[in-house]
Copies of this chain bind each other. A is one copy, B any other.
């Protein structure tokens, strides 16, 4: 399997992808798409974000391969293209748990 060495160049590519996930709005969009395929308008309603905004976020996520597009008549359906996103979120959630536990431990002392 791949196992690239972590040269500065590779780290830059990785950072770029982390950055795409470092935005609550985009995570919110991905969370919506986790449930089902959705149009831009549906995502706008679901997230409460502006249309231009959602569209821009989707372009970014699409460019990095996080979501897929399917055009059907007047609508464009977006869907998750990469399940690893939530694998990453799960790891982060574990971190949050650990942080909370450590904080509690500190208060006890």
Contact = CB atoms under 8 A, between A and B. Distances in A.
A16 B22 CA distance: 6
Contacts of A64: 99
Contact of A18 (B11, B21, B87): B21
A13 B94 CA distance: 12
Nearest to A86: B6
Given A1-B94, A17-B92, 15 more contacts: A1-B97, A2-B97, A6-B89, A8-B28, A11-B31, A14-B96, A15-B22, A15-B27, A18-B18, A18-B21, A19-B19, A64-B99, A65-B99, A65-B102, A84-B91
A23 interface: yes
A19 B24 CA distance: 10
Chain A interface bracket (under 10, 10 to 19, 20 to 34, 35 or more)? 35 or more
A60 interface: no
Contacts of A56: none
